[in-house]
Chain A
Amino acid sequence: AQKVTQAQTEISVVEKEDVTLDCVYETRDTTYYLFWYKQPPSGELVFLIRRNSFDEQNEISGRYSWNFQKSTSSFNFTITASQVVDSAVYFCALREYGNKLVFGAGTILRVKS
């Protein structure tokens, strides 16, 4: 069965520090998709990025970057020079064939000024 593990329950950093959120997944499918979502204190879920299992290229978007490694079944998310506005709960998710999307437990990120 598919499973997503976010081992870091909560992380606290000081503004401008870099921070990496870990995500490890389990799946028996060869075709799957990985996602990251952000949930700010206001509560809505905001889509950040998706990656399919055939594309191991890392991606950078501004201060955000993602490192996908099939060899270790990981899809880690790094925020460079963190800001207070980055404070949120971040969810990693896995989608297999059939559309079921399974979420990790989430990592609470607190960025202090």
Chain B
Amino acid sequence: EAQVTQNPRYLITVTGKKLTVTCSQNMNHEYMSWYRQDPGLGLRQIYYSMNVEVTDKGDVPEGYKVSRKEKRNFPLILESPSPNQTSLYFCASSLSGTGSYNSPLHFGNGTRLTVT
């Protein structure tokens, strides 16, 4: 089954304790992205990747890191989480390149992170 898998679904942590949210897709998509969802703000892009070893900042990259060593994986790293990073996070993937911009994003089921 074609899917984007995020783990964990729920995570409660304390300020400053490094964490990683994993994301994996099995559709051979070049493009992957991370979003955070906050009430009244919709989904805002954190980082995206056009292909392996190619990453770029989205609209709200501060406090986050990503890596794309393999095509299927795109982990989100919070080196020193703070309470303002409490949010619902989504990973997404799609085809990339000219002619693929109408490809819809496929989303994971989300990770609800609470930082106390």
Interface residues of A (CB under 8 A from B): 4, 6, 9, 31, 33, 35, 43-45, 47, 50, 52, 91, 95-97, 99-106
CA distance A50 to B95 in the complex (A): 14
Instruction: Report A-chain residues with C-beta under 8 Å of the C-beta of B43.
Output: 91, 103
Chain B count of residues within 8 A CB distance of the other chain: 25
Interface on chain A toward B: helix, strand, loop, or mixed SS?
loop
Number of A-B contacts (CB under 8 A): 54
- Cα–Cα, bound, A3→B102 (Å): 17
A56 to chain B, nearest CB (A): 15
* Given known A-B contacts A9-B40, A99-B31, A99-B50, A47 and B102 have beta carbons under 8 A apart: no
Partner of B102, one of A6, A50, A102, A103: A50
**Contact residues in B for A96 (Cβ distance below 8 Å):** 101
B48 at the interface (CB under 8 A from A): yes
Known: A43-B88, A44-B109, A97-B101. 14 other contacts (CB 8 A): A9-B40, A35-B105, A44-B110, A45-B107, A47-B105, A52-B102, A99-B48, A99-B94, A101-B33, A101-B45, A103-B42, A103-B44, A105-B40, A106-B42
Contacts of B68-93 to chain A: CB distance below 8 A: 88, 90, 92
The contact of A99 among B35, B90, B96, B110, by CB within 8 Å, is B96
Give the CA-CA distance A56 to B77 in the complex, in Å.
Answer: 41
How far does the alpha carbon of A45 sit from the alpha carbon of B4 in the complex, in Å? 12
Residues of B within 8 A of A9 (CB): 40
Q: Does B61 contact A (CB under 8 A)?
A: no
Contact of B105 among A4, A101, A105 (CB under 8 A): A101
Q: Are B104 and A50 in contact (CB-based, < 8 A)?
A: yes
Interface centre among A4, A52, A102 (most CB of B within 10 A): A102
B residues in contact with A44, CB < 8 Å:
107, 109-110
